Chains A and B, each alone.
Chain A
Amino acid sequence: MTDFTSLTIAEARDGLANKSFTSLELTDAHLKAIEDARALNAFVLETPDKARDMAREADGKIGKGEGGPLAGIPLGIKDLFATKGVRTTACSKILDDFVPTYESTVTSQLWRDGAVMLGKLNNDEFAMGSSNETSCFGPVANPWRREGSNTNLVPGGSSGGSASAVAALLCMGATATDTGGSIRQPAAFTATVGIKPTYGRCSRWGIVAFASSLDQAGPIGRTVRDSAILLRSMAGYDPKDTTSVDTPVPDYEAAIGKSVKGMKIGIPKEYRLDGMPTEIEKLWSEGAAWLKAAGAELVEVSLPYTKYALPAYYIVAPAEASSNLARYDGVRYGLRVPGRSIGEMYEGTRAAGFGAEVRRRVMIGTYVLSAGYYDAYYLRAQKVRTLIKKDFEDCFAKGVNAILTPATPSAAFGVGEKGGADPIEMYLNDIFTVTVNMAGLPGIAVPAGKDAQGLPLALQLIGKPFDEDTLFSLGEVIEQAAGRFTPARWW
């Protein structure tokens, strides 16, 4: 019998098309795997009945030759995506038992193409975190552990449930979102592939908002090809999101296996940090060597404003969050803590509903937008953002096709290990990924090796706006050279 859960989406698609197995069989195998993996806490809501209904429907369509590009493929959905009739919480107490009466554009496109929903995946509360420890449903365990150790590690965040579930073979792929690194960092920590597309490539409609000028949806998959297949269904213009871009979605899968000969790959010197682990440095040179062997040309480039990206992010993102999260007032949906006056009701509701990290960011955002401070903080940060974007534009203008960097400054760490005393320690996780959000560019994290303790490490490729194809072509070269990595099952 086929081991259904270890198939890639591309393999399952072929098996379904030539009737080797049904979507119902494939879906049942994944539902069983989810049940057996509750110790990971990757799913916050399992929807087995819905999954089986969708699988039967897909089987019917496949039988009639009407199956879409994702017909019968079981997926997990980050709990930040509104799903009609299925509880959506952003993993925050303040949304309580919110059941949307509408479907997010991205997920509706997945269902349009025939995909099957297995359930909702854990994430950091409102996507604010880099370890999935801020979720009101508790932390997610990474399926990877250090060699010879029983210590649970974090899967990264905020899309920690998505990354953990895909790595542990609980779903064939997952939706995720990325505001400062929330797709790429968890992908790196779990040896999965995650792409944050260009800002505007996927509609944000129906996705719980964190920082609207930075938020972007993307997939996490087990291979570069699977991520390309998923992104094609997720992407596209949506009149309901005025920031979504009206340009055709290419067949990303066609970019897989395309020659990268003659491409210019930038190696930014500013990403060579003091005290960077030698393993990361080694991985980076190895990745460069693989691309060179495939015919690409390597050039050193400079992105001088890199070091200001993270501090500017910690003004822009909290400012937008404080504004977006003003809607949680205990009136229209979610939690309400009764009060004698409406003010007391607002303040009590928000104090009880928001976790510590969310409260901290809403407060800092409120402060930087308050009278007298707007110019010094928010306006200045938006000007710095222009400079960061220009760094990349200058680089691409010199003929660089893509930029290669490490994805994270370290491998996965232990639950409770970081950020307890100083929030900045946790924020530094996103140091290589956050520049990409600030500039609105696409970025992909591809597994590239392991550290001395046997934990996965990844490389990041940054592309030109709407040139995701090049990232898939280059990512495939890295995947072919590095091979794929699967965690040993302990759960």
Chain B
Amino acid sequence: MSVDADTVRRIAHLARIAVNDAEVPHLQGELNAMLSFVEQLSEVDVSGVEPMTSVMPMEMKKRADVVNDGEISDDIVKNAPATENHFFLVPKVVE
């Protein structure tokens, strides 16, 4: 499988990365090189094989459903580029 220029633009948008037109041909070449490299997986017979979902067979531990953290608003917003009264500020979303 290979990707065309429109697909490159669509993936970039899905990944939320701005790409200008001049970069598209180069990116297209790189993505196609990777896709042709992974193409060899199609020759493997995977019928009846379960996908690997965990590296070590173990039961996931669960903690009690209680509040065990909090009151750290200062810490949470400390590294934010724009905040006001413990809120993150973003460009206007709703008109």
Binding site for B on A (CB under 8 A): 98-99, 101-102, 198-200, 213, 239, 242-243, 245-246, 305, 307-308, 311-312, 314-315, 322, 326, 329-336, 338-348, 350-351, 354, 359-360, 362-364, 366-367, 370, 376-377, 379-387, 389, 422-424, 427, 439-440, 465
Contacts and interface: CB of A to CB of B under 8 A. Distances in A.
Contacts of A424: 33-34, 37
Contacts of A98: 79
A359 B17 contact: yes
Given A98-B79, A367-B11, A440 B61 contact: no
Nearest to B53: A382
16 contacts: A101-B75, A199-B55, A311-B40, A331-B81, A332-B80, A339-B91, A342-B90, A346-B16, A363-B27, A364-B35, A366-B11, A377-B38, A379-B51, A385-B52, A427-B37, A440-B56
Given A345-B91, A367-B11, A311 B37 contact: yes
B16 A343 contact: yes
B88 A363 contact: no
Contact of B80 (A312, A333, A343): A333
Interface string B40-84: 111010100111111110101101000000001001101111100
Given A381-B41, A424-B33, A322 B15 contact: yes
Given A101-B75, A350-B15, A308 B52 contact: no
Contacts of A351: 17-19
A332 B30 contact: no
A333 B41 contact: no
A227 B88 CA distance: 43
Contact of B27 (A242, A360, A387): A360
B14 A366 contact: yes
B5 interface: no
A364 B31 contact: yes
B55 A242 contact: no
- The 8 A-B pairs of least Cβ separation, nearest first, read A440-B55, A382-B51, A333-B79, A336-B81, A347-B18, A351-B18, A101-B75, A383-B46
Nearest to B58: A245
A386 B50 contact: yes
Contact of B78 (A101, A307, A346, A386): A101
Given A200-B55, A245-B56, A331 B18 contact: no
A374 to B, nearest CB: 11
A362 B17 contact: yes
Nearest to A361: B34
Contact of A422 (B33, B52, B78, B82): B33
A344 B3 CA distance: 24
Contact of A99 (B16, B46, B79): B79
Contacts of B22: none
A242 B46 contact: no
Contacts of B52: 382-383, 385-386, 389
Contacts of A381: 38, 41
Given A332-B80, A344-B91, 5 more contacts: A311-B37, A332-B76, A342-B91, A347-B18, A380-B44
Contacts of B19: 351
Contacts of B78: 99, 101
A242 B90 contact: no
B3 to A, nearest CB: 7
A243 B37 CA distance: 30
Most-contacted residue by chain B among A344, A354, A379, A383 (CB, 10 A): A383
Contacts of B44: 305, 308, 380, 383-384, 387
Given A332-B80, A422-B33, A342 B93 contact: yes
A362 B78 CA distance: 27
A129 to B, nearest CB: 15
A379 B44 CA distance: 13
A199 B54 CA distance: 10
Nearest to B72: A101
A242 B60 contact: yes
B56 A465 contact: yes
A367 B82 CA distance: 31
B49 A383 contact: yes
Contact of B34 (A239, A386, A423): A423
B38 A347 contact: no
A241 to B, nearest CB: 10
A322 B38 CA distance: 17
Nearest to A213: B55
A311 B41 contact: yes
Contacts of A322: 15
B40 A380 contact: no
B18 to A, nearest CB: 4
Contact of A347 (B16, B40, B46): B16
B15 A362 contact: yes
B52 to A, nearest CB: 4
B89 to A, nearest CB: 9
Contacts of B11: 363, 366-367, 370
Most-contacted residue by chain A among B16, B33, B61 (CB, 10 A): B16
